[in-house]
Chain A
Amino acid sequence: MPIEILLVDDSPGDVRLTQEAFRDANSLIKLHVAADGVEAMAFLRREGPHIHAPRPDLILLDLNLPKMDGREVLAQIKEDDDLKTIPTLILTTSDAEADIVKSYRLQANCYLNKPVRFDAFESLVKSINDFWLTKVKLPPQAPSG
């Protein structure tokens, strides 16, 4: 059974790197991509073209996004009774203290800083897989529809 992950990131380069890294880490992972906050919410709410979208087991959320930024997406996810149970990990290049504090205030499950070096990034993805998708018990999926 595939593991569904929603990656919200506007950098195609980063998206591809993440895909490659996850592919190496766990072949069962199916990565869905939203390039901005509006698309992310449409996917999660199964609106418009995303009417048949699966409910993700995990959300990887960048902070700096066009149209609606990651902080706003995070707020909306965690205010939504249905969506808030999905573990949402912030994955961003920013290491600003203000961003870290705000994310946890908005109830992000954790905050991850994208490493500059590629091998470190791969190692991070592997850690995400080991922890969140292997060790951690995720909530059971609600029936779809």
Chain B
Amino acid sequence: MPNAAEKHLAQMESKYHGLLEAAPDAMVVVNQGGDIVLLNLQAEKQFGYRRDELLGQKVTNIIPKGFAERLIADDLRSAEDALAQQIGTGIELIGRRKDGGEFPIELMLSPLESAEGILVTAAIRDISARKTDEKHLAQMESKYRGLLEAAPDAMVVVNQGGDIVLLNLQAEKQFGYRRDELLGQKVKNIIPVGFAERLIADDLRSAEDALAQQIGTGIELIARRKDGGEFPIEIMLSPLASAEGTLVTAAIRDISVRKAAEANLLQKVNELYRSNEELEQFAYFASHDLQEPLRMVASYTQLLSRRYKGKLDSDADEFIAFAVDGASRMQRLIQDLLAYSRVGSKGMNLLNVSSEDALQQALVNLRGAIEESGALVTHDPLPVVLADEMQLILLFQNLVANAIKYQKPGVPLVHISAARSGGKKWLFAVRDNGLGIDPQYFERIFGLFQRLHKREEFAGTGIGLAICKKIVERHGGRIFVESQPGQGSTFRFSLPASKEKL
């Protein structure tokens, strides 16, 4: 008849059996002899045996190596010690199924007191999947290491603490360290400022967020070599999942050459800019200073011509005439050159200007030429533009003057119009019924001192359109011509629209 203690034990055992069956892992209870005395359904499934096939079997049949060594059969205490060591620790071993197939397992042991003495309960977990993952991960890591080494840039992998955990050959070369010298060092030692700020060490999530921002962005920082020398770098960060948590891979590129090239380019641009300014100033002063002596030559040759024409011989008359003409042309050239260089040298006073008013002023300035030629100048309503008023007047003046000048006999007709172009510009048109221009000269006519006609045919220095082009381009616009010989010409140019809506 069972006593109270025995009854209690029986109850415990029954409770224990229940727990065993319910466990998600395979559970096997082994006695000191290494025999399986208890198992659960999971164990049956995992090892492919029926319960009765396993009960009484040596545990070594299902776990060939490693388990038994942990059961020191001779001394119970030692077993307890051994077990005490193992408690909570997952041990990785190989399990063998009934069909002979093997699979990786993780074992966790705990002692179990029973009527028959101390037993060992083993929780057995099939870790095939985990092992595959681990193998996969190991392969990835190995592949990754391969990529790292092969990378043309210096590659450095940093953990959340800011320590360098991995680097490649390029990194060694770039920073002048041996690999072992850098591993474990703080990344701050090679990139003093700016890197660590991007790794938020306290919170993994923040680090990931920070990284997410940085992905793909090249950041320019200063790096430091072993010898203390510093050089400019561009780094690109990307996260790397690993067993140790999220790491940061940094691709580090030495941009000393690029920086030097950039500085060089900037310097060249500045020089060019300065040189341009000097040239413009020179053109201005040269033409300005040339005017004085030229004025003397022109004035006195004209006086000579006037006072002595017919009084000296005919050769003298001819010589003087050529001198007067030459001086006169030179004066016009200088004046035009001065006008051209003024367009460049003076600052632009950009305001909302009524282009209609500017055209009117230009027509007033051309009053003489218009009357003389009998020209008819008409225009559509013209818009308010953002321009330098003086230059706009000069622009219209030159274009209309040309339109009137280069004409065949008849009444010169000139019409000015404007149309909206895109959101921010106006495209003006100055159309005439003049001689027209051969397409092969469309570019040339805008050049400095370029002329298409002989001096006897039409007077002029060939600078008018060059001035127009300079004015339009300084306003950020474009000027071009549409024309056919004998069919008149239309000069089109764009100017920025005024800032306010009309």
Residues of chain A touching chain B, judged by Cβ–Cβ distance below 8 Å, are 11, 13-14, 17, 20, 93, 114, 116-119, 121
Contacts and interface: CB of A to CB of B under 8 A. Distances in A.
Contacts, number: 29
Contact of B291 (A11, A13, A93): A93
A114 B299 CA distance: 12
B303 interface: yes
Contact of A116 (B300, B303, B331): B331
Contacts of B303: 17, 20, 118
A20 B302 CA distance: 12
Nearest to A115: B295
Nearest to B301: A118
**Which secondary structure characterizes the binding site on chain A?**
helix
B296 interface: yes
Contacts of A17: 299-300, 303
Interface residues of B, number: 13
**Which secondary structure characterizes the binding site on chain B?**
helix
B292 A119 contact: no
A22 B212 CA distance: 87
Contacts of A11: 296
A86 B426 CA distance: 54
B300 A117 contact: no
A32 B93 CA distance: 126
A93 B288 CA distance: 10
Contact of A121 (B292, B299, B331, B335): B299
B291 A118 contact: no
A16 to B, nearest CB: 8
A23 to B, nearest CB: 11
Most central of B294, B302, B331, B335 by chain A CB within 10 Å: B302
B345 to A, nearest CB: 13
A118 B335 contact: no
Listed from nearest, the 4 A-B pairs whose CB atoms lie closest are A118-B299, A13-B296, A118-B302, A17-B299
B294 to A, nearest CB: 8
Contacts of A117: 298, 328, 331
A14 B300 CA distance: 10
A37 B273 CA distance: 41
11 contacts: A13-B296, A13-B299, A13-B300, A17-B303, A114-B295, A117-B328, A117-B331, A118-B295, A118-B298, A118-B302, A119-B302
Contacts of B300: 13, 17
A116 B302 contact: no
Most central of A13, A17, A118, A119 by chain B CB within 10 Å: A118
